[in-house]
Amino acid sequence: MRKFVLGILVFLLMFPISEIESEAAGSFKDISTNHRAYNEINYLAQGNIVSGTLDGYFRPGKVVTRGEAAAMMGRALNLNGRKRATQFSDVGSQYFASGYIQSAVEAGILTGYKDGSFKPGQIVDRGEMAVIISKAFGYEFGGTLSGAARALISRGISQGTADGSFGADQKIIRADYAIFLARAVNYKLRLTPGISYPADRSVTEDSVPLRTGPSNLYSSLGTLQTGNKVEASYAVGPWVYIRLGSKEGFIHSNYLNAPFGMGNQKILNQQMIVIDPGHGGKDPGAVGYGLKEKDVVLSTSLKLKSYLSRTPFQYKLTRETDKFIELSDRVAFAKQANANVFISVHANAYNGSANGTETYYYASNNSSADSKILASKIQGRLVTAWKLYDRGIKHGNFHVLRENTMPAVLVELGFIDNKTDNAKLASDAWRREAAKAIYWGILDYYKEKGFYVTHLYNK
Ligand SMILES: [Zn+2]
């Protein structure tokens, strides 16, 4: 009986699916089966990642605008595409890609321009496309066009151009964008299809479909069951390409026991980092060679804020101006903000005879283990970048560490009354180095906690 019902169900389910597939496959009037991008365009069309005109044309030779690129990438990565207000002066809430643009910016995949615009109608060239794909799929590329080109070429996503260059400034057309995007999504479409499976995961529910692409619109290749041990290769938004014995395909990361790849982008968006520049207002903090601690730590913290502003993280500062705040109010602020991480920034003083960088954490509360990891990551990055004496990480019984409930550290950048340290504390360029080091330390911490942050280092 059961088999019979199942048989009918399978029949009913298969019929409309094959109809949809036949409609999608080869449905574009201008994409014949021998078109060079036939496979890639139709693969993406199955997942509604690309679509054509209402009268059935794909227009493969048409250039791609930044707005269109955002929409296609956003659909591939399952970003929130709901039309809404954006942070850009030239992208209104009614613009067709407004939701994808805002989501892609929040995910660190796209950036706007310094003047507050996004230029959605601007045409994308191959170089920009390579950067967008590298960021979207988390390829390490060093933040440069050539690095992004290498990332794509080495994965078999792109060839160089005939003259041996990548052709970074050539305009990209829809057929090429589809080819690159489809190859990034599905490695079997690449010029050299080969991938590794760096992570082990297990499946947490029964009857989880394994699919040919990263959305429920793609056909099922079978199902996985609770406890299946799978090997994970790469992520496409919240979907993960996995292997189980001879079976391979996409599974939604919600059904895996731990985050993998870009699947935790949402979780990153939910992390609140509170930066606490010490002292302020009537309290100058330590003083040396005419320099006040309150000014040094505020300036450094504002630079750190600017790094964080280019990431999906949420962040708040206890002060952004020269004002006095009680220690208890700093703790209350962090708790009120539901901070996941608290970083207090200070500079030291001791008769001019001591020097170097040190980071404190509170060693005997519930978040001590994480506080210690955070302290050691920040200290490591600071000592490398800032090049002052390494005084190490230490337990510190400070109010803002002891009374806070989230992982919390207090960074002492250097000794303001020591001549060598003071020179760096006084320098705007060195403060930027310190801010970047703390930022990288935060990323190191999140990386160690299993978050995907690789693409954020070169922000
Ligand atoms: Zn201080």
CATH number assigned to the domain comprising residue 259: 2.30.30.40
164 lies in the same domain as 182: yes
Of 132, 160, 189, the last residue of a domain is: 189
Indicate whether 214 belongs to any domain.
yes
Q: What's the CATH code of the domain at 335?
A: 3.40.630.40
> Do 83 and 170 have their domain in common?
yes
pLDDT digit string (tens) for 35-75?
999 999 999 999 999 999 888 999 999 999 999 999 999 99
Q: Looking at the 3D structure of the chain, how many domains does it have? A: 3
**Same domain flag for 286 and 427:** yes
Contacts by residues 106-109 (CB-CB < 8 Å, ≥ 24 positions apart): 106/269, 106/312, 107/77, 107/79, 107/262, 107/265, 107/269, 107/312, 108/135, 108/310, 108/311, 108/312, 108/455, 108/456, 108/459, 109/73, 109/77, 109/135, 109/136
Say yes or no: 173 and 275 in one domain: no
Within this chain, do residues 245 and 326 fall inside the same structural domain, yes or no? no
Looking at the predicted structure, is the pLDDT value of residue 267 above 50?
A: yes
Whether residue 4 lies inside any domain: the answer is: no
Each residue of 169-193: pLDDT tens digit?
Answer: 889 999 999 999 999 999 999 998 8
**Domain end: 171, 189, 207, which one?**
189
Q: Is residue 284 part of a domain?
A: yes
Q: Give a yes or no: residue 400 inside a domain.
A: yes
> What pLDDT band is residue 346 in, cutting at 50, 70 and 90?
very high
Ligand 1 center to 270 CA (angstroms): 29
pLDDT at 161: 67
Within-domain flag for 426:
yes
Answer with the one of 189, 210, 233 that is the final residue of a domain: 189
3-state SS assignment for residue 85: coil
Ligand 1: centre distance to CA 278 (Å): 5
385 Cα: distance to centroid of ligand 1 (angstroms): 21
What pLDDT sits at residue 6?
45
Judgement on whether residues 208 and 162 belong to the same structural domain of the protein: no
pLDDT bin (cut points 50, 70, 90) of residue 314 is very high
Q: At what angle do helices 419-426 and 428-448 cross, to 10 degrees?
A: 90
Residues 157 and 216 reside in one and the same domain = no
Residues with CB under 5 A from ligand 1 (ion): 278, 285, 346
| Pairwise pLDDT comparison (312 vs 216), residue with the higher score | 216
| Mean pLDDT, residues 290-298 | 98
- Cα 412 to averaged position of ligand 1 atoms, centre (Å): 8
Q: What is the pLDDT of residue 23?
A: 40
The verdict on 204 and 170 lying in the same domain is no
Q: What is the pLDDT of residues 116-169, one digit of tens each?
A: 999 999 999 999 999 999 989 988 887 888 889 999 999 999 987 666 677 778
Return the higher-pLDDT residue of 297 and 205: 297
- The answer on pLDDT for 404 being more than 90 is yes
Domain extent for 141:
15-189
Q: Is residue 9 part of a domain?
A: no
- Residue 194 covered by a domain: no
Q: Order of strands across the sheet with 229-236?
A: 199-202, 229-236, 239-244, 247-252, 208-211, 220-224
378 and 338 in a single domain? The answer is yes
Cα 411 to averaged position of ligand 1 atoms, centre (Å): 9
Q: Are residues 223 and 362 in the same domain?
A: no
Between helices 98-106 and 66-76, what is the axis angle to 10°?
Answer: 70
> Does the annotation count 412 as an active-site position?
yes
- The tokens describing 148, both together, are 């992004």
69 vs 129: CA distance, rounded Å: 8
Q: Do 164 and 312 belong together in one domain?
A: no
6: in domain:
no
Of the candidates 106, 128, 248, 412, the residue annotated as catalytic is 412
**pLDDT, tens only, 91-107:** 999 999 999 999 888 77
**Is 68 in the same domain as 172?**
yes
